[in-house]
Amino acid sequence: MTIVILLALSMAAALITTTAAAAAMTTTAAAAASFSIELIHRDSPKSPFYNQSATLLDRSRAAIYRSAHEARRIAARVQRKSGIESFDAVSRMVPDSFEYLMELRVGTPPFSILAIADTGSDLIWANCVPCTKCYKQTAPYFDPRKSSSYRTLPCNSNLCKALPHRPCADVSSCEYHYGYQDGSKIDGVLATEDLTFYSSAGSPLVFSNIAFGCNYQSSGSFSSRTAGLAGLGVGTVSLVSQIVPSLDKSYFSYCLVPKSDTQSSSKVIFGSAGVVAGSKVTTPMTVEHTHFVLRLEEIIVDGAGSVPVPPSAAGLTTGNIIIDSGTTINYLPARVLSSLVQEVSRVVSLPKAADWRGIMPLCFKVTGEPDWQKLPFITFKFAGEASVRLSPTSMFMEEAYQVVCLAVADSGSGPPIFGNVAQQNLHVGYDLDIPAVSFASVDCTKF
């Protein structure tokens, strides 16, 4: 989502406009096997950030730049052990570094909110009425007074205790104070609300008593085209943690369409209908710092050799690489990256070029499709004999005119990351019971 996990509702039906209609049409969460969510990439025509005049190269370069911000955010989160002040919950997200948006339908009757999908934080929040010191947004603020399901949480509630906050009396409201890496801030009250989705059968599906933050102040670099944030990490108050236990299976999966395709939609499926089927590989998974962590054993370059990967990595104790849908390119330790660059260089005869921003260390001059065919397939071999073979379009990105770079950068002092460009056209499933991650090659435009 940031993955992540990741999202924006895949809905075929119209909004429920009255409480009576909701009561007549909805099913309870426990009665539904699964539901799907459409991922709205920020460059999609469905996104308010869509720029019709931007070329594929413009979008690619912007995504690489945002990826560097996202990697730094993850590194800061992993490295931060106990540095949070007792009254603050601090996210290292830069508000404009996101890749995906999701539409939330909050309250009774449901109110539509276009939110940033952040795989590195937990809280679900929106600007609320009255919000005299909130950043200006084009969409209306959420008005909790118009929702019959809105309930403010007391400070001594378990959901409130999941967030760091100021000491308070047991009967007082649960307040939160979040800071972001670029100095942006939000202040609000934690409540519970109903979230409405659509089941795989097409009927509305309501999840009740979901922790939801109502901002009374917000400031900084948040865009006026967004109205909130959906935390998709694995903390107690994240969207994933709160809805998955209510379904028939503690499982979710996603399928990311190639970034060159702005007409097709990516999708996330929660529940048993999202189980990865067919020819798949599965690797053990752990959770650290609200991120999903895998163990990468080696990287194999077709026509060259393999690059071993150390079993440990900066800031991680149970694995050596984070899988993240909110980061575009991959990040590897310097020694592993250096060896990978050597192996790829051995089999690619194209003239070398340079990434003018110095993010990616290996680039080539590519003048057409025949040159793309000279780039190798690269396999990431994870624990459990889970080999994921990636095509050149999943391992190389256009950085400048006729310049294509290996989509891998130095992780520096931060943890390695398996990013979303490598996950294009893969059905990626997360089994939270085992726990494990499965991969299967598919055409995500037809998923």
Helix (H, G, I), strand (E, B) or coil at 330: strand
Position 222 scores a pLDDT of 75
Q: Are residues 43 and 152 in the same domain?
A: yes
Q: 365 or 60, which is more confident?
A: 365
Reported pTM: 0.80
In terms of domains, do 299 and 436 share one? Answer: yes
- 49 with 184, same domain: the answer is yes
Let me know whether 136 and 240 are in one domain. Answer: yes
As a whole number of angstroms, the distance between CA 445 and CA 432 comes to 26
DSSP labels, 394-420: HHEEEEETTEEEESEEE-TTS--EE-S
Asked if 70 and 78 count as a contact pair (C-beta separation under 8 A), the reply is: no
> Is 263 a domain residue?
no
Contact call for residues 106 and 193 (beta carbons, < 8 A): yes
Q: Is residue 342 part of a domain?
A: yes
Whether 101 and 210 share a structural domain: yes
Range of the domain at 436: 276-441
Give the number of residues written for the chain. Answer: 447
Tell me if 78 is assigned to some domain. Answer: no
Task: Tell me whether residue 446 is in a domain.
Answer: no
Q: Which amino acid type is present at position 104?
A: L
Confidence check: pLDDT of 310 > 70: yes
What number is the average pLDDT over the span 403-416?
93
* In a shared domain, residues 302 and 421: yes
Burial class (CB in 10 A: 0-12, 13-18, 19+), 438: buried
Number of domains in the chain: 2
Percentage above 90 pLDDT, the chain = 40
Tokens for 441, please give them: 């090659």
- Amino acid identity for residue 390 in this structure: L
74: closest CA among 92, 62, 51?
92
* pLDDT (mean) for 301-326: 93
pLDDT digits (tens, 9 = 90+) for 122-142: 889 999 999 878 888 888 899
Task: Indicate whether 290 and 346 sit together in one domain.
Answer: yes
Q: What is the mean pLDDT of the chain?
A: 80
- Mark whether 284 and 162 lie in a shared domain: no
Question: Would residue 58 show up in a list of annotated catalytic residues for this protein?
Answer: no
pLDDT of residue 10: 30
- pLDDT at position 98: 57
Burial class of 442 by CB neighbour count within 10 A (0 to 12, 13 to 18, 19+): middle
Q: Would you say residue 300 lies in a domain? A: yes
Lowest-confidence pick of 199-203, 270-274, 442-446: 199-203
The predicted model gives 242-264 an average pLDDT of 84
User: Is 302 annotated in the active site?
Assistant: no
- Distance in angstroms (rounded) separating the CA atoms of residues 443 and 409: 27
Q: Using an 8 Å Cβ cutoff, are 267 and 255 in contact?
A: yes
**Domain-terminating residue out of 220, 255, 290:** 255
- pLDDT at residue 212 is higher than 70: yes
Range of weakest confidence among 73-77, 219-223, 252-256, 435-439: 73-77
| Nearest in space to 237 (alpha carbons), one of 139, 148, 123, 116 | 123
Query: What one-character-per-residue DSSP string does 25-52 give?
Result: H-EEGGG-SEEEEEEEETTSTTSTT--T
Q: 198 in a domain, yes or no?
A: yes
Please give the Cα distance from 203 to 199 (Å, whole number).
Answer: 5
Element (H, E) at 78: helix 56-79
Q: Mind listing the pLDDT tens digit for each residue in 156-177?
A: 898 998 886 666 766 689 998 8
Catalytic residue among 43, 122, 324, 410: 324
Residues 285-301 have a mean pLDDT of 92
Amino acid at 412: G
Q: Which residues contact 183 (CB under 8 A, 6 or more apart)?
A: 220, 221
Cβ distance 236 to 161 under 8 Å?
no
Residues 238 and 314 in one domain: no
Average pLDDT over residues 254-281: 86
Query: Average pLDDT of 362-376?
Result: 95
Residues 177, 88: contact at Cβ < 8 Å?
A: yes
Two tokens at 341? 């660059």
The span from the CA of 50 to the CA of 58, in Å, is 12
- Residue 289: pLDDT above 80? no
Which of these is catalytic: 118, 194, 355, 410? 118
Residue 189 CB: number of other CB atoms within 10 A? 18
Q: Is the pLDDT of residue 285 over 70?
A: yes
Given 221, 255, 289, the domain boundary residue is: 255
Direct distance between the N- and C-terminal alpha carbons of the chain, in angstroms, rounded to an integer: 18
Instruction: Looking at the structure, tell me whether residues 238 and 339 fall in a common domain.
Output: no
Tell me if 431 is assigned to some domain. Answer: yes
One domain, residues 251 and 135:
yes
CATH for 306: 2.40.70.10
Same domain (yes/no): 304, 160? no
Residue 406 has a pLDDT of: 96
- At which of 255, 284, 310 does a domain end? 255
Is residue 401, in this structure, part of any structural domain at all?
yes
pLDDT band per the 50, 70, 90 thresholds, residue 48: low
Cα gap 119→230, rounded to integer Å: 8
CA distance 224 to 216: 16
